[in-house]
Amino acid sequence: MGPAGVRPPRSPHVVKRSRDSLRHAIDGVVEAFFSQRHLRFHFIMVAIVVIAARFYGLTRWEMLLLFFAVALVLITELFNTAIETVVDLVTDSYHPLAKSAKDVAAGAVLIAALNALVVAVFLFADENSLHDRFVRLFGTPQIVQPKEVATAGFVLLLVLILIWKLLGRKGSLLHGGVVSGHAALASFLASSIYFTSGSMLSALLGLTVAFLVSQSRVEGRIHTVREVVIGTFLGLFVTILMFALLPNLMARLLTGN
């Protein structure tokens, strides 16, 4: 306290930090989003999970649990980015402690991602409920020869990937390009498991493997997040087209309904 009980004026630096803290936090998230491919990939996956949760009809508490799990992944990824930035600032040469710091931070992201995967399995792995929702959305598949349909869909997908890459004038059929062929094929094969086996749980496990394939393409800097997402949705589209939409359309035309 100053003379006669008068409080001294607050430091302008304190006022500035308090006023700009939110802006700095937002700037940090934006900077990490545009500079880190992994973080962009996680944000896109969060959007897909939220859309799937809406489609699945989760309860309020289930949605809260899901948001907590995905938020934990994003938070640990942000901390991982911050630690990597500080380590790179301190040293530009190899050091065992620098490697240890980066590995531990990456381990935290891995644990958070595995936790989110476990939560997703418990929330979404209700096979009967997911099957009923899928049927209401796309109808009951009228598959007589699933192996032939899967083969035709596989060939169609390869042709679409090749055309897309030729038009994009980038990469080759097996490496690079404007669309990830590996992600497209992985999502096609994983989602085809449901139509050929009838097991939704097996399809979810297959989609998990497809996710890991897509993640590896991003981490290997072979494709961008955008190219991987395009490939994933292309594979899913061809699967639904060949196994659900076209058979149901043909059945309606033949029956006159």
Catalytic residues: 77
d(CA 104, CA 26): 25
Q: What's the Cα-to-Cα distance from 191 to each of 21, 135, 255, rounded to whole Å? A: 45, 14, 28
Cα 15 from chain centre: 40
The residues near 160 (Cβ < 8 Å, ≥ 6 apart) are: 234, 238
- What amino acid occupies position 31? E
Tell me how far apart the terminal alpha carbons of the chain are, to the nearest angstrom. 86
d(CA 161, CA 238): 11
Evaluate the CA torsion angle 221, 224, 227, 228 in order and state its sign: positive
Token duo for residue 216: 């590896």
d(CA 24, CA 22): 5
